[in-house]
Amino acid sequence: MYKLTMLIAVLGFFSSCAKDAAPTTDTTTTGMENTGARQAVAAASVISFSGYTWEVRNESGTSGPGPNYWSGASNSVWVDSDGHLHLKIRKDAATGRWLCAEVTSTQSFGYGTYVWKIEGAVDKLDKNIVLGLFNYKSGDDGHHEVDIEFARWGNSAWHNYNYTVYPATGSGNVSQTYELALNGTYTSYKFTRTATSVSYKGYHGHNLIEANSFFPWTTPAGYNVSTLSLPVHMNLWLFNGNAPSNSQEVEIIIHSFSFTAA
């Protein structure tokens, strides 16, 4: 997700998982390309997580979203002895730079259900921090993208939980936002893709029990969803490249990702 979108509503700029803008509610927007292309990869690396292989993003300069610095170092992205993936935003003591984290699946996924089980206070993230869980076709900004994002887009008054879908063709995304308030640090999130729609839902805890579910949403009837198989991305980054307003490093643990084909 390396694109920019301009919101036609009063909230200002809208953002998807790696877009430098801010959110709206059930709104269609027009897209603008993000000119912050990825920089040269400093050192390619891969990890194994949840039965899949993931490329760890590691670049020598800044790039979108943000723009940010992206570190593939073992203290930015790692899998622990329990098989859980850690993503961390940290400040480099030598340079003073804030370093962000991202992994991308080497496999593409199509119709079916995508589920993430998360550990972390995602409802209490700093206003400048974004956690993204998403499908995205690299190099085709404004299209073929399905997002779950935890972000306030730099404004503490805005909702902190966002669903966004970008069309297969044409312009204009659809989105929905929600004020997430959790009763713990263990939560689960899913979306289901079909040829005609994307449906979302969150859950308290790591069991997908309907009584624990919250904020269901489905794309409007007739919306032009992507029909392509797409990689999965997971990233933790800084909106507009701004340091956390509380100057605190942040770590999120992803216990698992699963995909069940339709």
| Token couple for 150 | 């935890």
Phi, psi of 211 (to 5 degrees): -65, -20
Q: For 192-201, how does the pLDDT look when each residue is reduced to its tens digit (9 = 90+)? A: 999 999 999 9
- Rounded-to-integer distance, Cα 158 and Cα 152, Å: 5
Which contacts qualify for 58-62: CB closer than 8 Å, 24 or more apart?
A: 62/36, 62/241
Question: What pLDDT, on a 0 to 100 scale, did the predictor assign at position 44?
Answer: 56
The closest alpha carbon to 150, from 120, 191, 193, 173, belongs to: 120
Structural domain boundaries in the chain:
3-261
Residue pointed to by tokens 């879908």: 165
Number of H helices, E strands in the chain: 0, 19
Q: Are 219 and 198 in contact (CB under 8 A)?
A: yes
Range 242-254 average pLDDT: 98
Per-residue confidence (pLDDT) for residue 80, from 0 to 100 = 97
Termini Cα distance of the chain: 25
- The answer to whether 160 touches 150, Cβ cutoff 8 Å, is yes
pLDDT (average), residues 7-21: 37
Q: What is the mean pLDDT of the chain?
A: 87
Q: What DSSP letter does each residue of 24-92 carry, written as one string?
A: -SS---EEEE-------BSS-EEEEETTEEEEEP-BSSEETTTTEEE--STTTEEE-TTS-EEEEEEE-
Beta bridge partner(s), residue 147: 134, 164
Q: Phi and psi dihedrals of 10, rounded to 5? A: -75, -10
Q: What average pLDDT does the segment 233-261 reach?
A: 98
- CATH number, domain 3-261, options 2.60.120.200, 2.60.40.10, 3.40.718.10, 2.60.40.420: 2.60.120.200
The structure tokens listed for 101 are 């984290």
User: Does residue 257 surpass a pLDDT of 60?
Assistant: yes
Give the pLDDT confidence of 38-57 residue by residue, as tens digits: 333 445 599 999 999 999 99
Looking at residue 19, its pLDDT comes to 44
For the chain, percent of residues with pLDDT exceeding 70: 83
| Per-residue pLDDT band at 16 (split at 50, 70, 90) | very low
Residue 3 reports pLDDT greater than 50 = no
